């Protein structure tokens, strides 16, 4: 995501998708995306801004052609030290924060459900720690 103007660039099958969003925007029910990939990039960026890691919770394929028609993305959880994913235990408790995406029609994905609340502390990274060596602003 370009932090200056809120433009998100994604690539799917060689095509580039441009999605205009506010850099502080969070998912909401009814939010539309041009592709599943664009929705995933948005949710991953939202997660990194808020302070959690994501994982695929569920997916559903079309019986007709086998394409993905629904995807659930959720929080992987963060431990107290912020470095490790919540440790598994015999009675594993998952964080309930998630987003459910559905394909309405080809080229149109919509947020059907969004649960914001986490059952653990969040760890927000500073913008400097998210920079890469290809980022010209660090030189």
Decide if 38 is inside a domain: yes
Range of the domain at 89: 23-122
Quote the pTM value: 0.67
φ, ψ (nearest 5 deg) of residue 48: -70, -35
Decide if 75 is inside a domain: yes
pLDDT at res. 19: 53
Decide if 139 is inside a domain: no
CA distances from residue 119 to 53, 98, 114 in whole angstroms, order as listed:
14, 12, 15
pLDDT at res. 94: 77
What is the number of domains present in the chain? 1
Bridge partners, residue 103, by sequence:
109
Whether residue 22 is predicted with pLDDT greater than 90 in this model: the reply is: no
In tens, the pLDDT along 25-51 reads 899 999 999 999 999 999 999 999 988
Decide if 102 is inside a domain: yes
In tens, the pLDDT along 67-124 reads 999 999 999 875 445 455 445 443 346 789 999 999 998 889 999 999 999 988 888 6
pLDDT at res. 109: 97
- Helix or strand or coil: residue 19? strand
Residue 15, exposed/middle/buried by CB under 10 A (0-12, 13-18, 19+)?
A: exposed
pLDDT at res. 121: 84
């Amino acid at each position: 995501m370009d932090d200056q103007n809120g433009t998100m660039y994604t690539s799917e099958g060689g095509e580039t998708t441009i999605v205009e969003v506010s850099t502080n925007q969070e998912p909401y029910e009814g939010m539309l995306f041009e592709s599943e990939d664009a929705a995933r990039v948005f949710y991953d960026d939202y997660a990194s801004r808020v302070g959690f890691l994501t994982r695929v919770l569920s997916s559903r394929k079309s019986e007709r052609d086998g394409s993905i028609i629904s995807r659930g993305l959720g929080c992987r959880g963060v431990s107290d030290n912020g470095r490790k994913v919540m440790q598994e235990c015999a009675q594993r408790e998952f964080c309930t924060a998630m987003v459910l995406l559905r394909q309405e029609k080809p080229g149109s994905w919509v947020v059907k459900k969004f649960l914001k609340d986490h059952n653990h502390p969040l760890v927000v990274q500073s913008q400097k720690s998210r920079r890469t060596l290809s980022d010209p602003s660090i030189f």
